[in-house]
Structure 1
């Protein structure tokens, strides 16, 4: 990988992991449109690790409070709002983790195409726009109950289909359930931590089982750092601007991208 490819792919991973526009779609499409060679599994693992470190650093205070409250709940000391949120993140991860384990080969073999990405990009753009328009936007993330956890967790499982967007579909579900934009985004980002860690662990296992290949450690380290910095800045500014801009810019972007893909590949 040359420097330009490394920087572009790392920036795309860092920015699109948390914006509701699908990182998987962009990482599939950019090499296809540029004729770049596949970046390799080790680079994917490194950039996901960078994104994971970024979200954990950004929410470090919340994670500390949630972890302490969760341990107290396990010891039978009551279920505080922070403990409920921690349990909501853990249980909300299960549907996507189970679906990823059962359907990984099917998705990797049959759904990683530009045509699928075009359809999911458009369909889930319309759903996001509808949720932002119709959602009541009155609830905080610490008000999430078990029904909400189940529905948002099931929604996250749909993000295994390229083009859906993990953050996009979970924010959509949160908005439909009455969460504010910021609450839906914060819960979505917290929910990303275990799922990115699980996906990274799965990719690492595949990497360890694959035949040894030459590793470009410079590109891997640079990719991880760039993805991490861009992901951190993306989370910060997205949450800051969300109340003002809403979801409309991302809906419009997805519709334009989907239309472009339909024109290009159909």
Structure 2
């Protein structure tokens, strides 16, 4: 891979990871349009370590508080009714579906699921699902009202993002809105929910990212791409939390439909290849 490709894809990963527009789809599409070769699912998984590091830094106080409370609560029953203890369990249990499905369908995720016809279609279809959730959700429930049912359902929604084009944040935000959570509450849980799954996926994929002969990134290139994703991703977190607190998600709906339609047009004219 060239250094230009590494820098561009690192920026794309950081910009799109936390927006409901699918970072994996954007990496796939950017690679097809500008670099004529798929960077691969493993490259995506590893660079996501950079954006998840941004989550760890941005929410460091929250993560430390939840972790400490959870550990103490394993022995101290008086701590267990607290929101922090319950939220830690919600994140742990909510992470199980994506880990399970990711393991069972890892081969399909790295091959057939990256077909651009599927990516484009998924971008458009789930744009309308997100629009429905934005329109229908009452947004009356705050973080203090969060339950295990919410955690499990949003965890199942996150698992759908194994298909490029769905968007992990888009799927969890959609589920949260359908559960009548506020956008900010759904976004905060979405950030926390991503940590276990993405970190494990990234670490698991580190050996695979260097296996593609001829187009494989070097170790230095992967480090640079991941660092870029971290810096850009950190800024994206702060922006998104401010945005969802005061704006609807319809702008992302329109963007997804436009991008999906563009990809379909490029595929139909033979400008880019589906695989």
TM-score by length of 1: 0.92
In the TM superposition, residue 195 of structure 1 has moved relative to its aligned partner by 1.0
The 1:38/1:113 distance shift into structure 2, 3 A limit, reads: closer
Q: Is the CA contact (8 Å cut-off) linking 1:6 and 1:219 kept in structure 2?
A: yes
Which sections of structure 2, spanning at least 5 residues, go unmatched? 269-275
Contact 1:50 1:225 in 2 (8 A): yes
TM-score normalised by L of structure 2:
0.89
Cα distance in 2, alignment partners of residues 212 and 121 from structure 1: 30
Q: How far did 1:40 drift? A: 6.4
Partner of 1:227: 229
Contact kept? 2:114, 2:164, Cα under 8 Å: yes
The equivalent residue for 2:22 is 22
1:90-109 residue pairs with structure 2 within 5 A?
A: 90-109=92-111
Instruction: Please state whether the residue corresponding to 1:111 is helix, strand or coil.
Output: helix
Partner of 2:128: 126
1:216 aligns with 2:218: yes
Please provide the CA RMSD for this pair. 2.1
Give distance in 2, aligned partners of 1:76 and 1:6: 48
Deviation of 1:107 after TM superposition, in Å, equals 2.7
Q: How many residues align?
A: 265
In structure 2, which of residues 160, 163, 170 is the aligned counterpart of residue 161 of structure 1? 163
- Work out the CA distance in 1 between the residues paired with 2:229 and 2:156: 27
CA distance in 2, matches of 1:142, 1:206: 41
Structure 1 distance, partners of 2:42, 2:134, is: 37
Measured in 1, the distance between the counterparts of 2:37 and 2:148 equals 44
Provide the residue aligned with 1:65 in structure 2. Answer: 65
Q: Deviations over 1:115-170 (max 9, x none)?
A: 10111101111111111111111112342212212211111111111100001001
User: Deviation of residue 211 (structure 1)?
Assistant: 8.7
Residue 28 of structure 2 contacts residue 39 of structure 2 at CA under 8 Å; is this kept in 1? no
Structure 1: which 5+ residue stretches go unaligned? none
* Alpha-carbon distance in 1 for matches of 2:38, 2:118: 19
Instruction: Say whether 1:34 aligns with 2:34.
Output: yes
